[in-house]
């Protein structure tokens, strides 16, 4: 199975900061990497699919990059509503598909 | 408008069985990849299973042989039959639409405890 490793596990930042979250796959997954945001008690929300495509309705301050094994989610200017947990998710080839362990973004 | 509504969760003893349902509206279950994803209390997301539009099914290693995903096209409903339940299966179970899910249910809590 493909393992997904996110870093950091947690992150403290301030409103207006630029934030980067990394995700590494245990083998190449081409561009089959997606990013989700989850707030407590809520279902995950899709932010980025296919490594760099912005889901409809998601603010343009969110962006994704990478291919192969290394991927990045960037939030260009943090807003109060962005404090949440973020997960990467690989949907490469045949399942099982897997999630990273999550990155909790907290207010500094 | 797309809606997914899970049901069937509850408290079950170890070794027991439970069937979760996911009733959908706004699209056809049989025309989409449909997945189950779970989240243990205070933990991260774990992909559980998927059924392809063509009927192929796949499972995470942690549930393979114990869980079965299926669908009823006439009821437009997705199911997850869970047998031989263990304490580590305790989680909120979400159903989700498509390979890269953008539509999710609200989740149903399964608690496995004696």
Question: What is the phi/psi pair of residue B89, to 5°?
Answer: -85, -5
Residues 6+ apart with CB under 8 A from B112: B12, B13, B14, B16, B85, B86, B87, B88, B89, B90
Q: Residue A43: is its pLDDT beyond 90?
A: yes
* Minimal CA separation from B75 to chain A, in Å: 24
CA atoms within 13 A on the CB side of B101: 30
- The arithmetic mean of pLDDT across residues A90-106, rounded, is 95
User: For position A108, what pLDDT does the model report?
Assistant: 87
| Chain B nearest C-alpha distance from A94 (Å) | 8
User: Each residue of B70-106: pLDDT tens digit?
Assistant: 999 999 999 999 999 999 999 999 999 988 999 999 9
| A26 pLDDT tier (thresholds 50, 70, 90) | very high
How far apart, in whole angstroms, are the C-alpha atoms of residue A101 and residue B85?
Answer: 23
* Section B30-37 average pLDDT: 96
Q: What is the pLDDT of residues A53-63, one digit of tens each?
A: 999 999 999 99
The answer to whether the CB atoms of A43 and B58 lie below 8 A apart is no
């Amino acid at each position: 199975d493909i393992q997904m490793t996110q870093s950091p596990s947690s992150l403290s930042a301030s409103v207006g900061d630029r934030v980067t979250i990394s995700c590494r796959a245990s083998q190449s997954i081409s561009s089959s990497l997606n990013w989700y945001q989850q707030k407590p008690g809520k279902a995950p929300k899709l932010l980025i699919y296919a490594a760099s495509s912005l889901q409809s309705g998601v603010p343009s301050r969110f962006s994704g990059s990478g291919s192969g094994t290394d991927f990045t989610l960037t939030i260009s200017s943090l807003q109060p509503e962005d404090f949440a947990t973020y997960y990467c998710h690989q949907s490469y080839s045949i399942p099982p598909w897997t999630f990273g362990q999550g990155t909790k973004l907290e207010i500094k | 408008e797309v809606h997914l509504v899970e049901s069937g969760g509850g408290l079950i003893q170890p070794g027991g069985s439970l069937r979760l349902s996911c009733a959908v509206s706004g699209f056809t279950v049989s025309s989409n990849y449909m997945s189950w994803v779970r989240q243990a209390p205070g933990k991260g997301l774990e992909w559980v299973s998927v059924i392809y539009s063509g009927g192929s099914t796949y499972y995470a290693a942690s549930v393979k042989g114990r869980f079965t995903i299926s669908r009823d096209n006439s009821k437009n409903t997705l199911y997850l039959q869970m047998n031989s339940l263990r304490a580590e299966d305790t989680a909120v179970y979400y159903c989700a639409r498509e390979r890269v899910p953008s539509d999710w249910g609200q989740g149903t809590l399964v608690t496995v405890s004696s």
